[in-house]
Amino acid sequence: MRFEELRQKTPVHELVVEESDWAQLTRAEALRLTTLFLAARRFEEKILQLDKLNLVHGPAHSSIGQEGAAAGCIAALPPDTLMNGTHRAHHQCIAKAINALYGEDLDPSAAGLTLGMRQEIQGMMHEILGLKDGWTGGRGGSMHLRRAELGIMGTNAIVAGGIPIACGHAYAEKQRGSGKTMVTFFGDGAVHQGATHEAMNLAALYGLPMIFFLENNKYAVSMSVEQSTYETELLTRPQGHGIAGVKVDGMNPFATWLATRWAHEHIARTGRPAFILAEVYRYYHQSSSIPGSAFGYRTREEENAWKARDPWLFLQQELKARGILRENELAAVDATVTDAVEAAAASCIEGTGSSARIKASLWPAAASVDENLNSDMSEFEGVRYAEAEDYAPEDMEPLSYIEAMSRTMGARMADDDSIHVFGEDVANMGGGTVGATRGLTEKFAGRLVNTPITENGFCGLATGAALSGLKPVVELMYSDFFLVAGDQLLNQAGKIRHLFNGTAAVPLVLRARIPGPEGYGSQHSMDPAGVFALFPGWRILAPSNAFDYVGLMNSALRCKDPVLVIEPQQLHKRKTLVPKDLDYYIPIGRAKRVREGDQITLLTTLTMVEECCRMVDETGIRADVIDLRTLSQRDIDYDTIGRSVMKTGRVAIVEQTTRGASLGALIADEIQRRYFDYLDQPVKRVTGRWAPPVVSQALERAALAGEADIRSLIQEMQADSALSAARTESVHAARA
């Protein structure tokens, strides 16, 4: 027996600067690099000063010590480059803002910073302080910075949370053929996150034009790299995904500049992503102006050794020694940057020293707190809303639910080339695992994208693509899989519009299949509506038949918010008459009464609509059966519900799902708050049991609500109605 070494086909290298390399750095490029670095350094110093005065609400993660790497990277890239980052991103964002406005003929040592640059420094400072004139109205603060006009696509407080989103931005730019590169910045802690590996795999698989930029500052909060991983050579991570990488001394901004030029050229030459690992050091603790040594996780000697390699000392020494820039030019750049930063601080602070405070007029109005949770729906102006009753029989044809799924998507993809469908197997097997994309692969080559089994990764990619203007449709093979992608769907996509104060939209459609009583067990059978309803950024649509599916999916694809469309497998083969042209919409937020009566109101959805109608017909009770159709809390049609409740005085909510996953409790609470005076009895609910459905057919049937539960409910409500009527009659008789 013998073992042969397997050699990786993807190279990784360490960049070593040679004397001849300095010839590439012109005076103009040196000025740009120095300006970006000093903007980051002076800005960070001012934020720490304000933090000491308790004027920064929340954390302010300083990057002092490691700004040279970001400055070198951004200075080497075109001004229209896109970027995102993580919670420690002041230095990256201020450097990117300056670079985006840095004209070819600008000489900051002679002319100073432009007015636009000074305004952006002020806007970013106001944002970090939580003020209304900040980049996103103060909602993002220090950790969530966005200025899309300058290519800053949004930083992220979740470690590694922005990396899959960066893939989506890069995917969109590749589809457009824009030639733009995406840079995603992150730290060593993110290397161990699954989202990072999913993102690298997707970027390599799809050949995305992006740079993964790792700032290895040696520590998470206090845990060192050595405490976090057995393999401390972090370049092995991109190598394992087939991404060429380079390690560089990040305390040398020029070395990082060279590494980034290599990465940019590599992407242009090969069509493949690149990875840069910059070895850097943060001088202070996680989010303070206190050195890490004060907490005992590193030594004062270690900190002093790294401070001796400060990037600003390096730039002053090397640029002067080589005659690239003179002392007075460096001082002039420092002075103009410092003046801009001081002016930014002065614009929002009054008083000095311990009496300094934020100017009261700059706080956002408390009444604006709920603004920009969702789109204002102006994208629906002029569309044709319709119901089945609006069509003549000759204009309709019978269509199954599953046929409606593929035909609607095909019709809209033909109209809108921004629609891209992502999911496991969506382009295989002639229509995916259930036929939802049947007939689309050949018509829309390249726009049906098979994904690996990496839900967090491809849902993040879809989020980024939506942010960049595409209309991604994500197919989850089973609804429970949204839990794997919980961060990207709920914490990212659902919050982004509000977090960035309406400056960003995520027009993403998520299709989630519920198997129902098909024997898939408790990890494949969850109704996701109750969880998604907790996040007001999401719209939730629940079509119960093929006609509604077409109209609601058309609305989902037009909406500029993330929309969850729930697709019960039980309905796949059921046929409904559907208009032949498929060009109609059902409004988000409009329920439909499918049976009319005056004794009870049944509010229901999805598979239980037909069950309720059948039980009503069987029992002969006069009931309003209302198909809710929209389940997002702020969109539920309480006007239609209220009219029915005022008529019947008795209402029940009927859901197939288990008790714990039920949305009914929230609806019942709202009904009782709005219409208490019209209710003759408490709102009743039908759901499954507490236990999730398991594979055993007997236990599965017991776990989910069915016709027996609805029949019992109707009988109970009939009995209550009869008892109430008898009591009323008795009271009248006694009074007579």
Which sign does the torsion angle of CA 183, 188, 193, 198 carry? positive
Residue 727 region, left (φ>0) first, then alpha (ψ -120 to 50), else beta? alpha
Determine whether domain 378-579 maps to CATH 3.40.50.1820.
no
Q: What is the pLDDT of residue 728?
A: 52
Q: How many angstroms from the chain centroid is the CA of residue 435?
A: 28
* 76 within 8 A of 278, measured Cβ to Cβ: no
* pLDDT band at residue 6 under the 50/70/90 scheme: confident
Phi and psi at residue 650, to the nearest 5°: -135, 130
Which among 30, 77, 68 is positioned nearest to 183, based on CA atoms? 77
Mean pLDDT value across residues 11-38: 96
pLDDT mean over 691-712: 91
Which residues of the chain form CATH 3.40.50.920?
593-721
What's the CATH architecture for 12-362? 3-Layer(aba) Sandwich (3.40)
Task: Give me the count of residues in the chain.
Answer: 736
Long-range residue pairs from 719-725, CB within 8 A, at least 24 positions apart, any chain: 720/650, 720/681, 721/599, 721/600, 721/650, 724/680, 724/681
Distance CA 304, CA 221 (A): 19
Q: Is 139 helix (H, G, I), strand (E, B) or coil?
A: coil
Copy the structure tokens of residue 354: 């311990």
DSSP at 367: G
pLDDT (0 to 100) of residue 722: 64
Q: Give the closest residue to 610 by CA, choosing from 554, 674, 677, 543.
A: 543
Q: Identity (one letter) of the amino acid at 551?
A: G
**Strands 575-579 and 396-400, sheet pairing:** antiparallel
C-alpha separations of 509 from 154, 162, 440, 454 in Å: 21, 19, 17, 17
How far apart are the C-alpha atoms of 546 and 573, rounded to whole Å?
10
> Would the pLDDT of 55 be above 80?
yes
Question: Residue 733: its pLDDT value, please?
Answer: 59
CA-CA distance, 386 to 584, in Å (whole number)? Answer: 6
For 105-234, list the strands marked E by DSSP. Answer: 152-155, 182-187, 210-216
- Say which residue the tokens 């997707």 belong to: 202
SS (H, E, C) 473-486: EEEECCHHHHHCCH
Confidence of residue 736 (pLDDT cuts 50, 70, 90): low
Whether 251 contacts 313, CB under 8 Å: no
Residue 493 has pLDDT above 80, yes or no: yes
The DSSP bridge pattern shows strands 82-85 and 152-155 to be parallel
* Per-residue model confidence as pLDDT tens digits over 310-352: 999 999 999 999 999 999 999 999 999 999 999 999 999 999 8
CB distance 480 to 525 below 8 Å: yes
Average pLDDT over residues 8-32: 94
Res 279 pLDDT > 90: yes
**Average pLDDT for residues 632-644, to the nearest whole number?**
98
- Alpha-helical runs (H) found in 58-107: 67-75, 90-100
CA distances from 547 to 389, 544, 581 (A): 11, 9, 12
Band of the pLDDT at 25, cuts 50, 70, 90? very high
Q: pLDDT band at residue 84, thresholds of 50, 70 and 90?
A: very high
Q: Which residues pair with 419 in a beta bridge?
A: 471
Q: What is the pLDDT of residue 605?
A: 97
Q: Give the residue range(s) of CATH 3.40.50.970 domains in the chain.
A: 12-362, 378-579
Torsion of CA 518, 520, 523, 525, to 10 degrees: -10
The tokens for 291 are: 């050195």
Return phi, psi of residue 715, to 5°: -60, -40
* pLDDT for position 467: 98
d(CA 136, CA 143): 12
* 707-721 burial: b if 16+ Cβ within 10 Å, else e: eebbeebbeebbeeb
pLDDT at 34: 98
Give percent of the chain above pLDDT 70: 98
**Per-residue pLDDT tens for 540-571?**
999 999 999 999 999 999 999 999 999 999 99
Instruction: Name the residue with tokens 């603790």.
Output: 285
Q: pLDDT-based confidence at 102, cuts 50/70/90?
A: very high
pLDDT per position as a tens digit, 590-622? 999 999 999 999 999 999 999 999 999 999 999
Burial 323-355 (b: 16+ CB within 10 A, else e): ebbeeebbebbbebbbebbeebbebbbeeeeee
Place of tokens 């040696």: 218
3-state secondary structure of 547: helix
Eight-state DSSP code of residue 324: S
Share of the chain above pLDDT 90, in %: 89
- Residues 120-171: tens digit of each pLDDT: 999 999 999 999 999 999 999 999 999 999 999 999 999 999 999 999 999 9
333: left (phi over 0), alpha (psi -120 to 50) or beta: alpha
Measured CA to CA, the distance from residue 501 to residue 479 in angstroms comes to: 30
The yes-or-no verdict on residue 9 having pLDDT over 90 is no
- The CATH code that applies to domain 593-721 is 3.40.50.920
- Taking the C-alpha atoms of residue 448 and residue 437, their distance in angstroms, rounded to an integer, is 9
Phi, psi of 540 (to 5 degrees): -130, 120
- Six token digits for residue 668: 């019942």
Please list, in sequence order, all residues whose beta carbon lies within 8 angstroms of the beta carbon of residue 363, skipping any fewer than 6 positions away: 130, 131, 132, 138
Q: What is the mean pLDDT of residues 522-529?
A: 90
pLDDT tens digits along 344-403:
999 999 998 889 999 999 999 999 999 999 999 999 999 999 999 999 999 999 999 999
Render pLDDT for 408-454 as a digit per residue (tens, 0 to 9): 999 999 999 999 999 999 999 889 999 999 999 999 999 999 999 99
246-270 pLDDT per residue, tens:
999 999 999 999 999 999 999 999 9
